[in-house]
A = this chain, B = another copy of it.
């Protein structure tokens, strides 16, 4: 019933996730993965079908956990009506760095993996990721809309992409110990950006003519 040693399947998942994050999907080879996981080379194709399918399994495991954690914190933030903008942003940002039981290292690894998926624009993985992300993003965009009832919903969705970019790249890059502080900074930064009033057409025009002069 309770097996002490981790199953072959899980050892492959953990090792492959680490190596994919560190080196990238095409650089990490099945021979390297299976050797470091101390399993047979054929085990990957037996348990997952292919290298691609292994990658999909890795992503599904983490993305589900991340989405669930974000949703839970979002629900908590929405108990106040209208919700506090900072609480909504916290619900989005904080789970990204501590959603795994194993602590920060795993979370950061997955952010690196996520960044690679973003870079691989027209792969199955990219499509799958955006698909699983889509409804979470919509819920957060709606929640921000409730926190800022005067804002244009379309514009909010676009600005949410700014936050995703800042979060993903910064978390994938930064030193481990700083992530918690940086996450707080990002929430403050993003809240101010979202709250900023949009310039009038007249002000826009003034800026463009200024640029033309230079």
Residues of A within 8 A of B (CB): 22, 24, 26-27, 73, 76, 86-87, 90, 94, 112, 115-116, 118-122, 155, 158-159, 161-170, 172-174, 182, 184-186, 188-196, 198-199, 204, 207, 210-211, 214
Contact = CB atoms under 8 A, between A and B. Distances in A.
B172 A119 contact: yes
* Ranked 4 nearest A-B pairs via Cβ: A192-B196, A165-B169, A189-B193, A162-B166
Given A27-B26, A196-B191, A121 B173 contact: yes
Nearest to A193: B189
A153 to B, nearest CB: 14
Contacts of A188: 193, 196, 198-199
B121 A189 contact: no
Contact of A119 (B87, B115, B196): B115
A90 B211 contact: yes
Nearest to A199: B188
Q: Which of A26, A121, A166 neighbours the largest number of chain B CB atoms within 10 Å of its CB?
A: A166
Q: Which of A165, A199, A210 neighbours the largest number of chain B CB atoms within 10 Å of its CB?
A: A165
A98 to B, nearest CB: 12
Given A26-B24, A198-B188, A214-B76, A169 B161 contact: yes
Contacts of A194: 189
A20 to B, nearest CB: 11
A94 B172 CA distance: 25
A172 B128 CA distance: 18
